[in-house]
Amino acid sequence: MPRVTGPGVLSLALALLYAVFIYWYGGAGRPLTPEETAHYLALIDGRAHSHPNPSLRAAIEFIARNDDGREFFMVNLIDDPEDAEAAAAYNRLIIPELLKRGGHPVFVSRPISRFIEPEGLEGWDQVAIVRYRSFRDLLDMITSEHAPEIEELKAGSVSKTHAFPVHLQFSLIWTRFIVAAMLIALGVVLHLALRRFAFYARG
């Protein structure tokens, strides 16, 4: 029987931790079924706090009916908030809801100047890109029990916004690789710290 050593146990523990992360992070799930789409649309239509304008309702239905189950990124162009406290409260509420569903902010920044833009276009004060594990997760969030509070805080936290979903085509920032590199670095640090102890090397 192979001898089990501390380094072997540590490697296995880190590998299992990464497997749990990959399972939670997802990003290549199954498309929404027609039944799921009908269910979510019924919830949106049936809840007073979730009534979007007609164009948003049509966009939600179009994306749902053409869903491929893949992760996507929501690009948000935002005007400065009318209420800074509401914006902070919105962020405190939305981040846990995103993380619970494998989503997270990827990029948040402010323009430093205007550059190339169509004549007459109004500028934006902030750009934010948010990763969603799937459109199913987005629909689950906007129809959840926290949706009324999320919508109320969002309405008070932004003057105006323009949001649209995109699929990733190319990026040098790859979250799965970053997490793997962090776990490898953690493993090296723990190995160097534990190798002086006898129990770590014993099988």
160 with 198, same domain?
no
123 with 163, same domain?
yes
164 with 184, same domain?
no
- pTM of the entire structure? 0.88
In a domain, 57, yes or no: no
Flag whether pLDDT at 33 surpasses 90.
yes
Quick one: tokens of 75?
């690009």
80 with 163, same domain?
yes
165 with 181, same domain?
no
126 with 136, same domain?
yes
Q: Which residues contact 40 (CB under 8 A, 6 or more apart)?
A: 32, 64, 139, 140, 143
Flag whether pLDDT at 56 surpasses 90.
no
Rounded Cα gap, residues 44 and 147, in angstroms = 10
Phi, psi (degrees; rounded to nearest 5) at 90: -60, -45
- Per the structure, the complete domain to which residue 10 belongs is given by 1-30+171-203
Total number of domains in the chain:
2
C-alpha distances (whole Å) from 101 to each of 34, 71, 136, 141, 203 are 21, 11, 10, 8, 39
In a domain, 60, yes or no: no
pLDDT digits (tens, 9 = 90+) for 127-176: 999 999 999 999 999 999 888 888 888 877 777 889 999 999 998 889 99
